[in-house]
């Protein structure tokens, strides 16, 4: 049974191992190629990477929440036609503040949730590409960028890799 979340396809190939340091360069090329095809490569090359698509996706979700709120709480969106121009503008400003608050809350929550899922997927994919010994060695490192940096440092500082 796989320990990977169902949405993360594991690395296909021989896991990186301390016992085969000369294979690192080939492993790295293969790993980054597979990571790119899974839209995960940026999580290994950019510290604190956040996909720009996350906010767009979150905005689209917030629009659905806003539509639902307008149906469930239609009374909050009404504007009395007998209001003076000043009162009408004030009422429209209240509605705008309400809708903006809903969208900000949903965007923040959904973007955070998606980013956490993406980082978890990137970490899980990297863990699937390394040996059990390396997993044990770096088990406390959950950030995909930091884990990849540890691995690069370990193998790229080895003079045998330069052959």
| 83: CB partners within 8 A, 6+ apart | 91
| 89 close to 114: Cβ distance less than 8 angstroms | no
Indicate the pTM of the whole model: 0.79
Lowest mean pLDDT among 3-7, 23-27, 50-54: 3-7
Q: Which residue has the tokens 């863990």?
A: 127
Q: Please give the mean pLDDT across all residues of the chain.
A: 92
Q: How far apart are CA 151 and CA 145, in angstroms?
A: 10
- Do residues 10 and 125 lie in contact, with contact meaning Cβ atoms separated by under 8 Å? yes
């Amino acid at each position: 049974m796989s320990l990977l979340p169902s949405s993360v396809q594991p690395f296909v190939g021989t896991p990186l191992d301390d016992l085969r340091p000369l294979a690192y360069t080939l492993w790295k090329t293969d790993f980054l190629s597979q990571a790119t095809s899974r839209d995960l490569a940026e999580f290994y090359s950019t510290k604190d990477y956040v996909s720009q698509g996350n906010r767009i996706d979150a905005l689209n979700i917030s629009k659905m929440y806003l539509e639902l709120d307008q149906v469930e709480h239609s009374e909050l969106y009404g504007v009395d036609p007998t209001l003076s121009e000043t009162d009408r503008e004030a009422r429209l400003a209240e509605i705008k503040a309400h809708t903006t608050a809903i969208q900000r809350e949903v965007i923040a929550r959904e973007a955070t949730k998606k980013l956490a899922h993406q980082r978890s997927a990137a970490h899980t994919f990297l863990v699937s590409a390394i040996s059990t010994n390396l997993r044990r060695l770096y088990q406390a490192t959950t950030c995909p960028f930091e884990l990849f940096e540890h691995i690069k440092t370990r193998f790229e500082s080895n003079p045998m890799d330069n052959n």
